[in-house]
Structure formats: C-alpha cells, structure tokens
Amino acid sequence: MSDKATLEVNGNKHEFPIVVGTENEVAIDVKTLRGVTGGVITIDAGYKNTGSCESAITFLDGEKGILRYRGYSIEELAEKADFLEVAYLLIFGELPTLGQLDKFHSDIKKHSVVDDDVKKILDAFPKSAHPMGVLSSLTSALTAFNPSSVNVDSEEDMYNSVVRILGKFPVLVAWTMRKKQGLPLYYGDSNLGYVENILKMMFKQPNEEQYIQNPILIDALDKLLILHADHEQNCSTSTVRIVGSSHAGLFASLSAGISALWGPLHGGANQAVLEMLEAIKEDGGDTKKYMAKAKDKTDPFRLMGFGHRVYKNFDPRARIIKKAADEVLGDLGVEDPILDIAKGLEQEALKDDYFVKRKLYPNVDFYSGIIYRAMGIPTDMFTVMFALGRLPGWIAQWREMRLRKEPIGRPRQLYIGETQRAFKTIEKR
C-alpha cells in the first residue's frame, strides 16, 4: 500500500502521510491540510470518521465484533481477571504481578476516605436529584478537598492521584444511592476486596449487624465493571480527554466525563432500556408494536440498547452480559418477565430487515439493567454503575493523553451564519 494519500483541491494536488496502527488500521494524517490548501478543513459532524488521537489502550473492530484491552480479549478478561487487575492493566499497560496488585489495592484503601464536608454537599441536593447529576457534582467537589494539581511529569504524583480517585469514587457512588434511599452514609470495610466493599457500602442496612456477601453478586458486579471499563474514544472518554487537554485536573475531567455518560444515547441507555422494557410490559408485552414504532421515521421512539456507532456486528460485551443475565437470575432464583421481553425483542430485531440492513445489534446496555435490577440496584443508579466501571478507562485515557503531551483539543468549524452586516441602533424610548 502507498504511504501517501493524494487529495485534489481547486486543481492542486496535495499529499498526506498514511499512518498504520498495530492492527493494520489505516488513517490519513491531515494535520497539515489547512496550511497547504489555504484554509480548507475537513468536516465530520459527530466525528463519525475522524480519529482524535493515537492510543495504545483499547482495540475494537466493529465489523468483526472484537474488543481487547491492551491486547487481551474482553472474553478472556471477563472470565479470568478481576476488576482491579483490569483497572491496573488499563491504566499502567501491563497486568500486575501479585505484589503490584496487593500494593495497588492497599494504596487505594489508604485513600478511600472522603472528607466529611462532602456529606454536607450531598445533603444539599433534593431527594429528587438524579444520581448522575449528584455523582458528577461530588466528583467535581473533590477538587476542593484535594487542591494540589497532578504533576504529570512525576510518576509518583500521577500514581497517587490514580489511587486517590479509585479509592474515593466508590464511596461517592454508594453515598449517592444511600442518600436517595434515606440510609445513613457508611465508609465500608478495608478488609474486603474492592468489589465486595462496594457492595457492602451500597447495601448494608442499619439494622444488620453483619452484611452477608453473596458470591453471585460479587462475581456479577465484577464482570459488569470489567465489561464497561473502557471502550476507546466514545463520547464520555473523548470528553475526559478534551477537558484534560486544557490541563484541567483529573477530577474535573472525570466529572465532565460523567455528565457526558449520562445521556440516553450513551451510558444513560441502560436506564432507558429498562424503562422501555417496563413500558412494553405495562402495555401488554406487544413487542411487535414497539418494533414498528422503532422503524417509523415519524415516531421519535428508538429501540434503546440497540445500535452502536462502531459495532456493525454483535457487541461482544452484549453476548457476555446476556449469558450472565441468564446465570445471575437463575442463581438468584429471580424470574423477571422483562428478560423474556428483552429476548423477544432481540429475536425479532435480528431477523427484521430494517435492523439487519442497518446492522443494528444489541449493545452492552441491552441486558445490563436486567442484572442490576436483579441485584437490587434502583433503575436511576444504573448509569452510575456504568461510571464506576468506566472509571479506570477514563483515568487510563487521561493519563495517556497527558503523557503523550497531546495538544489542546480544539476542532474547527464551517461557518454558516450571517455575513458581515451593519449594527442598527434601536430607537430608545
């Protein structure tokens, strides 16, 4: 293959380098385009075809349905690794040794105390506040209690900020849920594993002397967090990178990422899926009616949990989650009619021309809410659980962006507004 791409603009030919990734993905480097073409830019709303960076963290092939973190397949990681190992892998590039993992966990535990004043901020939110808004605000509030900015040239400083946020974030997640449920806030137990501790912080009831751990729930949550841990340059991750590219701090960048994740077209889809399945059930379970609505271009309804910007094949995470949903519900002895509706919708969509032609398959969010519900997690907390899983990915991407000394993110635009016009003074009474 040629190592140059040629573009003709206004009769002039310009050459641009072709760059090839380690998985043979090909990109045209148009960095110099504007300079050589006298102001011409590329335009690509939604960045459908624009690479924003080079990254060594996550590889995904949407046509083949492949997802790998640092070269390891998602299937293998979900089966064999635990969430903290995956977090370490994503952030630092290699799987940890046992010694590194123990140190990582113990450093995280050391930093899991959240300033008591954060509770006052939490108290000020109305009960009706959506947990994602609360989580984003509390994450941003952490900057007030940890004012020193990260010196990205110091490995030690970088490491400390990573363990600090990995320690405090689950506390914020648990507090967000407990506050909404009117339960006393609680710090958890440093003798427990990372995921076990999260469950205890979320679910321990005041009248319970001891919180009894359920291995099925630990395993299910661990798997869900791993599956959500990174997904290359999606909306929230790009937000974290672009906010961080102005050299804003890690917590501020993460807070912006949480807001980006909240929307129903992104992480908020897990809540939207469950609400959709509930609505279908309430309406008599007629999946065909909702399939027709999803295909009707005059109807704003979309089949939530279906379709993906990059996957034009089965989302490999959806396959794993679907199997896990069956297992978790079976193990817990939960019979949820919503699971049957979900399976029915999937069956119909997979053989429907509209969905087949557009390559719309179930995505990661289609079945995750069913597991969260079986675990006793309220619907409006689903996207918060997604954020908990995505945290190591955001950190890894932020760290990579700063270590590579990427320039500030600043897209161009094509102006389509008024051309210059004279100001008219209004007659003042």
Nearest to 363 by CA among 346, 379, 348, 375: 346
Nearest to 315 by CA among 364, 356, 254, 276: 364
When binding is defined by CB under 6 A, the residue of 164, 204, 223, 308 that contacts ligand ACO is: 308
Question: What are φ and ψ of residue 112, in 5° steps?
Answer: -90, 0
Residue 312 binds to ligand ACO (criterion: CB under 6 A)? no
Of 173 and 201, nearer to ligand ACO (C-beta) is: 173
Q: Active-site residue among 82, 222, 352, 365?
A: 365
CB of 130 to ligand ACO, least distance (A): 17
Structure tokens at 270: 């897990």
When binding is defined by CB under 6 A, the residue of 78, 220, 303, 324 that contacts ligand ACO is: 303
When binding is defined by CB under 6 A, the residue of 4, 247, 323, 358 that contacts ligand ACO is: 358
Residue 363 binds to ligand ACO (criterion: CB under 6 A)? yes
- Which region, judged by CB under 6 A, interacts with ligand ACO, from 98-106, 185-193, 262-270, 392-400? 262-270
Q: Active-site residue among 82, 105, 308, 380?
A: 308
Residue 266 binds to ligand ACO (criterion: CB under 6 A)? yes
Question: Rule CB under 6 A: which of 200-239 touch ligand ACO?
Answer: 234
Three-state SS for 256? helix
Q: Are 117 and 141 in contact (CB under 8 A)?
A: no
Residue 309 binds to ligand ACO (criterion: CB under 6 A)? yes
Residue 390 binds to ligand ACO (criterion: CB under 6 A)? no
3-state secondary structure 178-230: HHHCCCCCCCCCCCCCHHHHHHHHHHCCCCCCCCCCCHHHHHHHHHHHHHHCC
Strand partners, 60: 67
Nearest to 368 by CA among 413, 419, 408, 323: 323
- Which region, judged by CB under 6 A, interacts with ligand ACO, from 117-125, 331-339, 362-370, 411-419? 362-370
Nearest to 165 by CA among 395, 427, 338: 395
Is residue 308 flagged as an active site residue? Answer: yes
| Residues forming the active site | 308, 365
Residues at the contact surface with ligand ACO, assessed by CB under 6 A = 234, 265-267, 269, 294, 302-309, 358, 360, 363-365
